Each structure stands twice: as structure tokens, then as C-alpha cells.
Amino acid sequence: MNPENLLFAKTHEWVHVDQQGNDKIATVGISAFAVEALTDLVYMELPEVGRHLTAGEAFGEIESVKAVSDLYSPVEGEIVAVNRELPEKLHLLNDDPYGEAWVIKLKLQSEDSLKNLLDFAAYSRQCSEGEH
């Protein structure tokens, strides 16, 4: 996916929303900026399918040789898919952060939380200003 077509949380997660039947499905991943900042990824903990998340709620963590960082849901919804291959293939976060390295998919509960997200230009400004 082209990052310019995504929405971003201030905590560096990205979101892409697709209509699937009657549901809106939000695919969530981690931005290239965050992956580069973490460097040397060693571990990732993911949630279970079926869990309900609110916007801003931690759902997992990612660990590098430097630090452990929580992953936060940028939207509210029920987890309908988890990228189970990702913890064994952390290199995908560097290789394809906006494609194969998606983390979870949620059935969107409400579109209200999308209003609080940043477009690519605003997110890029946040990153360049050093607001991590």
C-alpha cells in the first residue's frame, strides 16, 4: 500500500479501511518511521482474534535490542485477523511495512476514531519535528 493513502496514529500505527460486504475492515500496521527508530527487532507479541479494542488501547508489543514498545489500536473494533507469520518474519517490517507486514485487522465499530488520525503529510511533519 502507498503510505500516502493511509491514516496514522501519533503512536506510529497506520490504518487502511476497506469495505467488505456490510463491514468496514481496518488493517493496522506499524509505520516505516517507527520500525527504523526501533532497529534490530527481536520479538513481537500479538493479540488473539475476537478481542475487542478501543482506540488507544494497547494490543501487543514489539521488542528491539534497545527497547520494548507497546502497539496501540488506532481505531475501535473487534480483531478479525492477526498476522501470525509476522513474529517469525520480523524482517517484513523493514521490507514491506505497508503491505505484508500488516499486524491486525479489525471489524470497525465506529468511524469516529478515524477523525483523530493523521494523514501522511501531518504524520510526516510530526516525525520530522521529533514528536515520538
pLDDT in tens, 76-125: 999 999 999 999 999 999 999 999 999 999 999 988 889 999 999 999 99
Looking at residue 113, its pLDDT comes to 87
Measured between its terminal Cα atoms, the distance across the chain in Å is: 23
- By residue count, the chain amounts to 132
Domains and CATH numbers, the chain: 3-126 (2.40.50.100)
CB atoms within 10 A of CB 125: 11
66: confidence class by pLDDT, cuts 50, 70, 90: confident
Q: Which H or E run includes 15?
A: strand 13-20
Cβ atoms 105, 80 nearer than 8 A: yes
Amino acid letter for position 51: R
pLDDT in tens, 43-52: 999 999 999 9
